[in-house]
Chains A and B, each alone.
Chain A
Amino acid sequence: MRRHAQLGELEHLTLLAVVRLGSDAYGANVRRELEETAGRSVSIATAYVTLVRLEKKRFLASREAAPAPVRGGKAKRCYRITHSGARAVRMARDATARLWEGFEGHPDLQ
Chain B
Amino acid sequence: MNIEKTPLPLRVLALLLPDQLREVAIGDALEEYARREQKYGRMRALVWSWRQTFSLDLFRLRRELSSGHEYLSLPKRRKILIDRTTLWQFVRRLQQRPLFSVTVIAILALGIGATTAVFSVVNGLLLSPLPFPEADRLVRISKNDMHRGWSHYPVLDRELDVWRESSASFTGIAALRYTGAYDGTVTVDGSHRTVKILDVTTNYFDVLGVPAFLGPTRDTWMMGSPSSS
Contacts and interface: CB of A to CB of B under 8 A. Distances in A.
Contacts, number: 90
Nearest to B6: A72
Given A44-B55, A72-B6, A67 B27 contact: yes
B61 A48 contact: yes
B110 to A, nearest CB: 33
Contacts of B29: 28, 44
Interface of A is mostly: helix
Nearest to B29: A44
Contacts of B31: 28, 68, 70-71
Contacts of A73: 3
A1 interface: no
Contacts of B6: 72
B47 to A, nearest CB: 13
Interface extent on B, as a size class? 20 to 34
B15 to A, nearest CB: 13
A53 B27 contact: no
- Chain B residues touching A, majority SS: helix
A53 B3 CA distance: 30
B52 A45 contact: yes
B28 interface: yes
24 contacts: A26-B24, A26-B28, A27-B24, A27-B27, A28-B27, A28-B32, A44-B13, A44-B29, A45-B55, A48-B21, A49-B61, A52-B61, A53-B71, A56-B71, A69-B1, A70-B31, A71-B27, A72-B27, A72-B30, A73-B3, A74-B23, A74-B26, A74-B30, A75-B27
Interface pairs A-B: 7 shortest CB-CB: A74-B27, A71-B27, A28-B28, A45-B57, A43-B55, A27-B28, A77-B24
